[in-house]
Amino acid sequence: MSDVRTTCPYCGVGCGLMVSGGALKGDIAHPANYGRLCSKGAALKDTLSLPDRLLVPTIGGREAAWDEALDLIATRFAETVRTHGPDAVAFYVSGQFLTEDYYIANKLMKGFIGSGNIDTNSRLCMASSVAGHIRAFGEDVVPGCYEDLEEADLVVLVGSNMAWCHPVLYQRLIVARERRGTRVVVIDPRRTATCETADLHLQIAAGSDVSLFNGLLVHLAENHAIDEAWIASHVTGFGETLKTAGMSVPSIDAAAAITQLAREDLLRFYEMFAGTERVLTLYSQGVNQSAAGTDNVNAIINCHLATGRIGRAGMGPLSLTGQPNAMGGREVGGLANQLAAHMGFAPEDVARVGRFWKTANIASRPGRKAVDMFDAVARGEIKAIWIAATNPAVSMPRANHVREALKACPFVVVSDAWPTDTSALAHVVLPAAGWAEKDGTVTNTERRISRQRAFRPAPGAARPDWWMFAEVGRRMGWEDAFAHRTPADIFREHAALSAFENDGRRLLDIGALADIDDETYDALPPLQWPLSKREISGTGPRLFARGGFPTPDGRARMVPVKGLDERRSQSLLRLNTGRLRDQWHTMTRTGRVPHLMTHAAAPKLAMHPRDAGLRRIAENTLARLKSEHGVAILRVSVTEEQRPGDAFMPMHWTDQFSSAGVIGKLVMDRTDPVSGQPDLKATDVQVTAIETQWTGFLLRRQDGTPSLGEQIYWSKVPVASGFAFELAGWTALASVIHSEDILRQVLRIPRDAELVSYSDPRKSVFRYAGFAGDRLEACLFLAPEGVSLPPREVAQAFLGRAMTPMERVSLLAALTPDGSAVSQKIICSCFSVSAESIAEAIRDGKLSSVAEIGARLKAGTNCGSCIPELKKLLQEHSEGDLMVAK
Ligand SMILES: Nc1nc2c(c(=O)[nH]1)N[C@H]1C(S)=C(S)[C@@H](COP(=O)(O)OP(=O)(O)OC[C@H]3O[C@@H](n4cnc5c(=O)[nH]c(N)nc54)[C@H](O)[C@@H]3O)O[C@H]1N2
Ligand SMILES: Nc1nc2c(c(=O)[nH]1)N[C@H]1C(S)=C(S)[C@@H](COP(=O)(O)OP(=O)(O)OC[C@H]3O[C@@H](n4cnc5c(=O)[nH]c(N)nc54)[C@H](O)[C@@H]3O)O[C@H]1N2
Ligand code: SF4
Ligand SMILES: [Mo]
């Protein structure tokens, strides 16, 4: 196969990849990454042959032909619209759609079914940034570009764990910093890996960002750091905004009190900002996923507008996009309150898009936003829903409520590439072609459109999403409107709509690409928009340096914002949620790659020692978390990285990977009043200790849940030849396994398979193994709390292998050659280097830099995602004073 250039399917950095022969590497020619990849991107080759793909459409669990499934969807949607009106149906789609998928789904719902009811998981992700951009600039436009990271003198990261979530951009920043001495400030209530290279970490009280930036605006005004001439020519709202800021944060002491930061730290930040022309402020979910998300965004943009620091090299506000194509989705109108091509529901926009699509049936008002959409499903107002490329049973707030809503919904369609907690609730499941198998485009954080190119056939009957929606459109009677044969056809139409009746008022104009032929589309290099056929002066990689905002008067708007008034119960913890380095969202891909599960093998609740002490919770013991909406049970990590009163839990675990680790089940559904984005980072939870009676592990060739009942804790990781489950329980062990049938079920071995036991029920020690012939199919080790178990790694090495009688005895008697092996935390997942071996190398080899660790152990020399953790280990384990290389 010849070389294929494509784009990484994970985060919004949008790194280019080169597939050449069997190898998959970073594309050195792609301007997002110039060849770099992070741990997830570097592991993509391991996702190409993952088990369990959805291969054929199913209806009620029965396999069906595409025609039957598509006819059924078309009929049920048409019937529902006929009987109950167009707002009784909905699509819930995803920032992991390609632009072409998105365009067709949006055209079908808004243009032809005639409802605004298409929303996307970008509502949980970018909606506050979209709303903030529209309020400030008149359009959802990101003004800057990645090169600003190399050009800035001060980089402010707000609510962004860039080291783990946008790792390649973080590495660009670190390299620039070494060369240029760029200063970095991190504003985050947690001490994250990103803080390792920061000059200043402001460990802000969660939810107080508006006050921090209002305080900054006041400081800028008081210290003559405002660009009055720029404001006079290009901005409105300065006076009122400053007045509101001054009233809500009258002094630096007030700002320090609200944000709970030391006055000196706050002042240091304010002075750095005031005194540096080239300031770049990057922000992500700590800003967006908040009840004040849109105000947070505008509070940041206000400071850039007031100083005129926007659109020039190394400066400006830059919203870090989450998903690979959240931007493309925003461009085609994937959000329920947008129409298409950055047009909204103003009557002239509705008429214009209607003319372009040649439809009389176009929606004339916005549809329901995600949280509201699932509420409408629960109330029975939405009676048919199609969910694609997202897993709301896990990722939505109040996930139990979402699950109940879907169970009660008369008709649920899910398209995905793997079975998920959501597809388990669907009537019709459609097998989607995944990354590597489908063609189209994505737009990254810096407005750059890149091609995603198929480089292998889709397995089974899997098909691309755009095709499914177009087929249903045709079957609903709109043959002409959905006659597209290829993604290139769709892209040309999207490009033409962006330019349609566009006199320059909509910056999103890619009209220059409206007439490209299929070959040009196939060969399209990464391009930044605007790409207008008309000559637009002043555009390029950056926008707005000379004003020219897409508002009626051409000026940007400063928006007066007040902070949230957050009074919280003292006895509850405030649950923050987010991401881990090596997992992607609901783990459908990354959770199936063994080495990506070594960085964090189970979901853990991080809490401050003070809060753990108050609750008598020790490191690595189990705790029960309870909110108004649901419960989780997980192990605890006691750490000073948390503020007292806060706790953190990763968002990734699903019912497929843990007994009770789905965080969405606890999260409240409070939303930002402007954007409708849920506040996913601030749910009140009660945390209590669980007294564990026993622990154990199960190793099994077969996937599935352990089938040990409700009263246990388990978490699962894939291993080389099967699955490993960590187990613990709080009821008497004897009550867990009380029959051979149950045991065979747990081990997933047939009746006639050999079952070997080495148990001492008096001591409550249970050890079982199941064999197919000589081959170890499964084994289960359980012991009372305090009695040690044999190391899992030793048993794991035998799984799926033939064992001699001696080996069996030694395995079950737990006479291991080296009983000391313990489960290790892997820091460098590219080369599987554990924290223990790094610490040992630092101590024994007197290592003092990341480069020395790399030279000795290779850790950190491939993707570099672990460098912040290596620095931390250097600080912890080296002797004497150490200059950590910055
Ligand atoms: N490894 C990995 N990378 C990813 C993803 C993934 O699943 N895994 N997903 C991608 C997607 S879709 C997204 S949206 C991005 C998200 O990227 P990020 O936004 O960087 O990630 P999060 O962990 O959700 O949250 C960021 C930080 O916000 C902080 N925070 C919480 N509350 C507040 C607050 O009130 N104020 C401030 N200032 N900070 C607060 C949290 O402590 C957290 O460290 O990551 C993308 N990249
Ligand atoms: N508590 C909490 N909840 C959160 C967040 C948080 O920080 N905290 N973050 C929120 C954010 S920012 C986001 S972006 C969401 C993400 O949440 P989701 O979108 O629910 O998570 P994913 O696991 O990325 O789901 C994508 C699904 O699409 C499937 N898939 C992959 N490729 C394709 C394809 O080409 N076609 C189809 N049809 N399917 C495909 C995958 O197998 C997977 O099941 O979670 C949100 N929820
Ligand atoms: S930073 Fe990592 S996950 Fe994001 S696009 Fe690049 S390689 Fe993919
Ligand atoms: Mo996201």
User: Ligand 2 within 6 A of 388 CB?
Assistant: yes
Which whole number is the average pLDDT over 535-558? Answer: 84
Reduce the DSSP state of residue 239 to 3 states and report it: helix
Instruction: Report the predicted TM-score, pTM, of the whole model to 2 decimal places.
Output: 0.93
- Long-range contacts of residues 80-87, Cβ cutoff 8 Å, at least 24 apart: 80/383, 80/384, 80/410, 80/411, 81/113, 81/114, 84/383, 86/113, 86/114, 86/115, 86/117, 86/363, 87/115, 87/117, 87/367, 87/381, 87/382
Tens digits of per-residue pLDDT, 431-466? 999 999 999 999 999 999 999 999 999 999 999 999
Does residue 88 register a pLDDT over 60?
Answer: yes
pLDDT number for residue 880: 46
Confirm or reject: Cβ of 452 under 6 Å from ligand 2.
Answer: no
- Answer whether 7's CB lies under 8 Å from 443's CB: no
| Residue reference for tokens 């995603």 | 452
Query: How many whole angstroms from 386 Cα to the centroid of ligand 1?
Result: 27
Pick the ligand that lies closest to the CA of residue 646: 1
Q: Which segment of 107-111, 626-630, 773-777 scores lowest on mean pLDDT? A: 773-777
Interval 99-139: pLDDT, tens = 999 999 999 999 999 999 999 999 999 999 999 999 999 99
Q: Would you state the pLDDT for residue 885?
A: 33
Q: Which of the four pLDDT bands, split at 50, 70 and 90, describes residue 539?
A: low
**How are strands ordered across the β-sheet holding 89-93?**
62-63, 58-59, 428-431, 411-416, 384-388, 89-93, 118-120
Least confident segment among 246-255, 290-299, 725-734: 725-734
DSSP string, 420-456: -TTGGG-SEEEEBP-TTT--EEEE-TTSEEEEE---S
Between the CA of 188 and the centroid of ligand 1 the distance, in Å, is: 10
Distances (CA, A) of 533 to 341, 384, 453, 490, 536: 16, 41, 26, 19, 9
Q: How far is the CA of 10 from the centre of ligand 3 (A)?
A: 6
Mean pLDDT calculated for residue range 386-396:
98
| CA–CA distance, 547 with 235 (Å, rounded to integer) | 8
pLDDT band at 763 (very low <50, low <70, confident <90, very high): confident
Structure confidence at residue 884 (pLDDT): 33
Amino acid (one-letter) located at 831? F
For ligand 3, whether the C-beta of 40 sits within 6 Å is: yes
**H-state helical runs in 109-208:** 127-137, 147-151, 162-165, 167-180
Kindly give the number of the ligand 3 atom that is closest to the alpha carbon of 17.
7
Residue 886 clears pLDDT 70, i.e. is over it: no
Task: Report d(CA 152, CA 553) in Å as an integer.
Answer: 30
Q: Residue 384: what pLDDT?
A: 98
Question: Does 707 have pLDDT greater than 50?
Answer: yes
> For residue 357, what pLDDT is reported?
98
Enumerate the β-bridge partners of residue 646: 574
57-66, 368-377, 845-854: least confident range: 845-854
Report the pLDDT value the prediction gives residue 785, as an integer from 0 to 100. Answer: 87
CA of 33, closest atom in ligand 3: 6
User: Residue 863 — pLDDT band, cuts 50, 70, 90?
Assistant: confident
The Cβ of residue 44 has, within 10 Å, a number of other Cβ atoms equal to: 21
Q: Mind listing the pLDDT tens digit for each residue in 468-488?
A: 999 999 999 999 999 999 999
Would you place residue 817 in the very low, low, confident or very high pLDDT band (cuts 50, 70, 90)? very low
How do residues 252-267 score in pLDDT, each as one tens digit? 999 999 999 999 999 9
Does residue 675's CB lie within 6 angstroms of at least one atom of ligand 2? no
Q: Which of 73, 6, 1 is nearest to 526 (CA)?
A: 6
Question: Is the CB of 458 within 6 Å of ligand 3?
Answer: no
Q: pLDDT tens digits for 305-327?
A: 999 999 999 999 999 999 999 99
pLDDT at 1: 58
CA 309 to chain centroid, in Å, comes to: 29
- For 641-691, write each residue's pLDDT tens digit: 999 999 999 999 999 999 999 999 999 999 999 999 999 999 999 999 999
Distance 317 CA to ligand 1 centre (A): 17
What distance in angstroms lies between residue 651's CA and the mean position of ligand 1's atoms?
10
Residue 500: pLDDT over 70:
yes
- Burial code (b: 16+ CB inside 10 Å, e: under 16) for 679-692 equals bbbbbbbebeebeb
Ligand 3 binding pocket includes 15 (Cβ within 6 Å)? yes
Residue 14 CB–ligand 3 contact under 6 Å: yes
Low-confidence winner among 480-494, 525-539, 866-880 (lowest mean pLDDT): 525-539
Tokens of 551: 């508002």
Instruction: Give the closest ligand to the alpha carbon of residue 583.
Output: 1
Cα–ligand 4 centroid distance for 564 (angstroms): 23
Find out whether the beta carbon of 390 lies less than 6 Å from any atom of ligand 2.
yes
In this structure, which residue's CA is closest to atom 6 in ligand 2? 578
Which of the listed residues 25, 37, 321 should we mutate to test ligand 3's pocket, taking the one with most ligand atoms within 8 A of CB?
37
Highest mean pLDDT among 288-297, 711-720, 757-766: 288-297
Residue 741 has a pLDDT of 82
590 in ligand 2 pocket by Cβ < 6 Å? no
Q: Give me the pLDDT at residue 608, please.
A: 98
d(CA 718, CA 594): 5
CA of 591 to the centre of ligand 2 (A): 13
Q: What is the pLDDT of residue 147?
A: 97
What would the 3-class secondary structure string for 412-423 be?
EEEEECCCCCCH
Alpha carbon of 124 to ligand 4 centroid (Å): 7
Q: Which of 10, 11, 124, 577 to mutate to test the pocket of ligand 1 (most atoms within 8 A of CB)?
A: 11
| Whether residue 809 has pLDDT greater than 90 | no
Find the ligand nearest to 160 CA. Answer: 1
| Closest residue by Cα to residue 81 from 477, 481, 480 | 477
Q: Decide if pLDDT at 814 tops 70.
A: no
* Residue 735 confidence (pLDDT) above 80: no
Token look-up 């047009």 returns 343
Between the CA of 418 and the centroid of ligand 2 the distance, in Å, is 12
Q: Hey, which of 17, 168, 593, 830 would you mutate to test ligand 3's pocket, going by the most ligand atoms within 8 Å of its Cβ?
A: 168
What mean pLDDT is predicted for residues 610-621? 96
CA distance 269 to 247: 21
What is residue 787's predicted lDDT score, i.e. its pLDDT?
80
Dist. CA 585 → ligand 2 center (Å)? 5
Find out whether the beta carbon of 578 lies less than 6 Å from any atom of ligand 2: yes
Instruction: Identify the residue whose C-alpha is closest to ligand 2 atom 24.
Output: 585
Answer yes or no: are the C-beta atoms of 681 and 286 closer than 8 Å: yes
Contacts of residue 613, Cβ cutoff 8 Å, sequence gap at least 6: none
- The per-residue pLDDT for 743 is 85
Give the Å distance between the CA of 586 and the centre of ligand 2.
6
Residue 751: CB atoms within 10 A of its CB come to: 8
Supply the residue whose CA is at minimum distance from atom 30 of ligand 2: 389
**285 close to ligand 2 (CB < 6 Angstrom):** yes
pLDDT score recorded for residue 815: 47
pLDDT at 459: 96
Share of the chain above pLDDT 70, in %: 97
Neighbours of 414 (CB within 10 A): 28
Residue nearest to atom 2 of ligand 3 (CA): 38
Please state the three-class secondary structure of 683-714 as a single string. EEEEEEECCCCEEEEEEECCCCCCCCCCCEEE
How much distance in Å is there from the Cα of 745 to the middle of ligand 1? 39
239: burial class by Cβ within 10 Å (0-12, 13-18, 19+)? exposed
Q: What atom in ligand 2 is closest to the CA of residue 664?
A: 1
Please check the confidence at residue 881 and state whether its pLDDT lies above 50: no
The pLDDT assigned to 824 comes to 55
Q: Is residue 50 over pLDDT 90?
A: no
Q: How far is the CA of 323 from the centre of ligand 4 (A)?
A: 5
Answer whether residue 882 shows pLDDT above 50.
no
13, 33 contact by CB (below 8 A)? yes
The answer, yes or no, to whether residue 818 has pLDDT greater than 80, is: no
Question: Measured from the CB, is residue 41 less than 6 Å from ligand 3?
Answer: yes
Distance CA 873, CA 489 (A): 52
Place of tokens 């071996």: 837
What pLDDT sits at residue 536? Answer: 53
Return the residue whose CA atom lies nearest to atom 18 of ligand 1. Answer: 160
For a pLDDT cut of 90, what percent of the chain falls above it? 80
Q: Classify burial at 46, counting beta carbons within 10 Å of its beta carbon; exposed 0-12, middle 13-18, buried 19 or more.
A: middle
Q: Which residues line ligand 1 (CB under 6 A)?
A: 11, 40, 125, 158-161, 164-165, 187-190, 192, 204, 206-207, 209, 284-286, 290, 322-323, 576, 578-579, 581, 583-585, 681
Q: Match 């000059």 to its residue by tokens.
A: 199
The mean predicted confidence, pLDDT, of the chain is 93
| Closest atom, ligand 3, to C-alpha of 444 | 5
Expressed in angstroms and rounded, the spacing between residue 288 Cα and the centre of ligand 4 is 10
